[in-house]
Structure 1
Amino acid sequence: MEEIRLTGKEAEEFRRYREEKERKAMREQNRDAYKQLVDETIREVFPTLQVVSNGLAKCKQAVYERFADALKLKEDIFNTKPDQRSNTFSTSDGMYRITLGNHQTDDYDDTVNEGIAKVKEVINSFAQDDRSRLLVDAIMKLLSRDTKGNLKASRVMQLRKLAAESGNAELIDGVEIIEKAYRPQVSKTFVRAEYKDEYGKWVSVPLGMTEA
């Protein structure tokens, strides 16, 4: 077999080629090892997180069940609305308190579209002077929907104020149609527990993975 002789430059290039090939092989091995480690870790940790989640859900349900009688009695004594968004209960010494409540998302029934159409029809009839254009621009911004396609209730309140200031009866009527179409939806219920520290400040008890 004929012996192959490499020049110094060729030998150096071959050495670099071989080292680069070895580095690539090592990177591939490390990537495979990383994927395997992540897979094993997720499968090991996930059941624990499910247990914690189920435990929190059962605990929240138990808290609501324990406070059911107190909520009913509070409604009877203080004439509170059963659908109010939160209720706070405190110990007589003022050291502990628990708040039960719910988060709501803005939603409307189909008649909201009639109200929006009427508002747009009215503002399109406005004179096109500078003052009117500013009002039209402000109203159109307030009528813009969020990423879920809903109007924000806070914007409708601003819209009502603008309509009242304009004194236009048709515009006011259109806004009222929108307001009457409002049907907020309860998204999530929550429990908040707090206690007073030695300085008299309220401290929240961490009840979620983020807060813990």
Structure 2
Amino acid sequence: MEEKKQTVEMTVEEKQEYEAFKATQAEKKAKEQAKRNREAYKELVDETIESVIPDLRLMSESLKAVKQGVLNDFRRVIEMKSEVLKLKKDGQRSDTFTNSAGDKRITVGVYTTDGYRDTVEDGIAIVKEYIEGLASDEKTKALVKMVLRLLARDAKGTLKASRVVQLRKIAEETGSERFMEGVQIIEEAYQPAISKQFIRAEVKNENGAWVCIPLGMTEA
């Protein structure tokens, strides 16, 4: 059945009103569609999150259990290492074990963050007092700036242990007992905090290079 087309005569004013009406309707429909799209997007986000969270929780628990098992196994290995090799390293933060074939190795250890007891301030004061008293010429002024940079704290307000090592070297080179005293007080105040334990597993590839086995979400 053929559709009959009808011609409607409009004045210029009526045509302008009709075009404005169509534009308003089109804009209204576009806004409604955009709203429906946003609602559909939010629903998709909610559905996807709900569907993946259980898997991620399960994976997290499995990884946690495996990590604890590996740490427990190697705790016994580390104890035997101390007994057999007669080694005791109080400051050691990691141990690496390689298999007999030399193509697999495991490293277990702890990450630490630098920290100091309150007495560190006394050591810093002694070092600053000594070093600032040297600023007599360009050479000693450069040394003062270098040492003060080493005593600068990070964003968390903590001295970096690696900088204290550099500080000791400078103190030893100067031969000043007062300088060394300040550095020693800083070193004795060092009290690192353990942040978390880690496990690193590596195998050799066909080229003989060590390659890490990805154990984290960001590595896989």
TM-score range, shorter chain: 0.7 to 0.9
Equivalents in 2 of 1:201, 1:124: separation in Å?
50
Aligned residues with identical type, % of pairs: 48
Quick one: distance in 1 between partners of 2:51 and 2:175?
A: 65
Residue 169 of structure 1 pairs with residue 177 of structure 2: yes
- Aligned residues of 1:74 and 1:80 also touching (Cα < 8 A): no
| Alignment-mate amino acid for residue 76 of structure 1 | E
Q: Using the alignment, how far apart are the partners of 1:83 and 1:134 within structure 2?
A: 34
**How far apart, CA to CA, are the structure 2 residues paired with 1:166 and 1:19?**
82
8 Å contact from structure 1 (residues 119, 171) kept in 2: yes
Of 164, 170, 179, 2:187 maps to 179
Shift of residue 111, structure 1, vs aligned partner: 0.8
Contact 1:89 1:97 (8 Å CA) reproduced: yes
| Match in the other structure for 2:138 | 130
Q: Distance in 2 between matches of 1:137 and 1:11?
A: 78
By how many angstroms is 1:58 displaced? 0.8
Q: 2:45 — aligned with what?
A: 38
Quick one: which amino acid aligns to residue 52 of structure 2? V
Using the size of structure 2 for normalisation, the TM-score is 0.84
C-alpha distance in 2, partners of 1:118/1:204? Answer: 45
The two structures have a TM-score, normalised by structure 1, of 0.86
User: 3-state SS of the aligned residue for 1:73?
Assistant: helix
State the shift of 1:21 in Å: 3.2
Counterpart of 2:213? Answer: 205
Shift of 1:10: 4.8
Once the two structures are superposed, residues 35-55 of structure 1 have per-residue CA deviations (whole angstroms, 9 ceiling, x without a partner) of 222122112211211111111
**Does the aligned pair in 1 maintain the 2:114–2:161 contact within 8 Å?**
yes
CA distance in 2, matches of 1:121, 1:107: 23
Find 2:163's aligned residue among 139, 142, 155. Answer: 155
Contact 2:135 2:144 in 1 (8 A): no
Residues in 2 aligned to 1:141 and 1:17: alpha-carbon distance in whole angstroms: 66
Greater radius of gyration (CA): 2
| Partner SS for 2:110 | strand
What's the Cα RMSD here?
2.4
Q: Which runs of 5+ in 2 are unaligned?
A: 1-10
How many Å apart are 1:197 and its aligned residue?
A: 2.9
Partner of 1:53: 60
CA distance in 2, matches of 1:128, 1:31: 69
2:127 partner amino acid: V
Give the gaps of 5 or more residues in structure 1.
Answer: none
- SS of the residue corresponding to residue 174 of structure 1 reads helix
After alignment, is 144-153 or 84-93 more displaced? 84-93
Q: Distance in 2 between matches of 1:12 and 1:137?
A: 75
Q: 1:106 aligns with which of 114, 119, 132?
A: 114
| Match for residue 81 of structure 2 among 66, 74, 93 | 74
Instruction: Call closer, same or farther: CA 1:117–1:27 in 2, change over 3 Å.
Output: farther
In 2 relative to 1, CA 17–169 (structure 1 residues): closer, same or farther, beyond 3 Å? farther
Q: What corresponds to 2:200 in structure 1?
A: 192
1:148, distance to aligned residue in structure 2 (A): 1.8
Aligned 8 A contact 2:95 2:107 in 1: yes
* AA of the residue aligned to 1:169: E
